[in-house]
Amino acid sequence: MRATFRLLLGAAGMSARQVALTSTGIALVAVTVSAVRVPIPATGGYGHLGVIAETFIATAFGPVIGGVASGVGAALADLIGGFGSFAPLTLLAHGSTGVLVGWLAWRKGWPGRLAGWILGGVAQVAIYFLGEATVYGFGVAGAAAELPLNLVQIGLGFFGLLLFSLVRQAYPQVEQLGSAAKFEEV
């Protein structure tokens, strides 16, 4: 069993710590997405607070952990909450947010964090809009009905950046947790 676990970690290029952070991130995103749901009657979807956790996780731990935790966590919340038909689109939309926020924000100071939050949010809104307008058949008008709440939801991601800043002040090593462990001989 232990050898199989090590083989899987090695194939994924992740340490045990990174797997633990990713799985904890998935759970945190799933809970924050599920905790408060604001229904959108035009599409049957909902708004939520999950982007706060997604932004924090991606900023703290980088694009891989951020992308997987955001996409899988939000899709899992859809599956558990009875919105399973949205799960594939959610996986793509929220996963892209986690990757973009993590890629632009990770260790790049406030300018990178702000750019990541904005571009990640734009990607999420655009993916939902295009997917709902075409694949899900809501048309442009139906997909546009979600735009205001989606934009507010993305705006809440700023609180994820603030949370990261507060955690980093209290625990500066938080940014190192997402990296693979490195050992140096002294």
We report the CATH number of the domain holding residue 124 as 1.10.1760.20
pLDDT for position 5: 47
Tokens in use for 126?
Answer: 């655009």
Low-confidence ranges of the chain (pLDDT < 50): 4-5, 7-9, 11
Query: Is residue 12 included in any domain, yes or no?
Result: no
Cα separation, 25 vs 48, in Å, equals 16
Query: Is residue 33 included in any domain, yes or no?
Result: yes
**Position of tokens 């799960």?**
87
pLDDT for position 163: 97
Question: How many domains would you assign to the chain?
Answer: 1
Query: Is residue 145 included in any domain, yes or no?
Result: yes
Maximum Cα interatomic distance, the chain, rounded to a whole number of Å: 63
Neighbours of 91 (CB within 10 A): 19
**Phi/psi of residue 39, each to 5°?**
-65, 150
Query: Is residue 83 included in any domain, yes or no?
Result: yes
Answer yes or no: are the C-beta atoms of 98 and 71 closer than 8 Å: yes
pLDDT for position 7: 46
**Position of tokens 């999420």?**
124
pLDDT for position 6: 54
Query: In terms of DSSP bridges, do strands 45-47 and 38-40 run parallel, antiparallel, or are they unpaired?
Result: antiparallel
pTM higher than 0.95: no
Query: Is residue 14 included in any domain, yes or no?
Result: no
Neighbours of 170 (CB within 10 A): 8
Show the domain range for 114.
23-176
Cα separation, 46 vs 100, in Å, equals 22
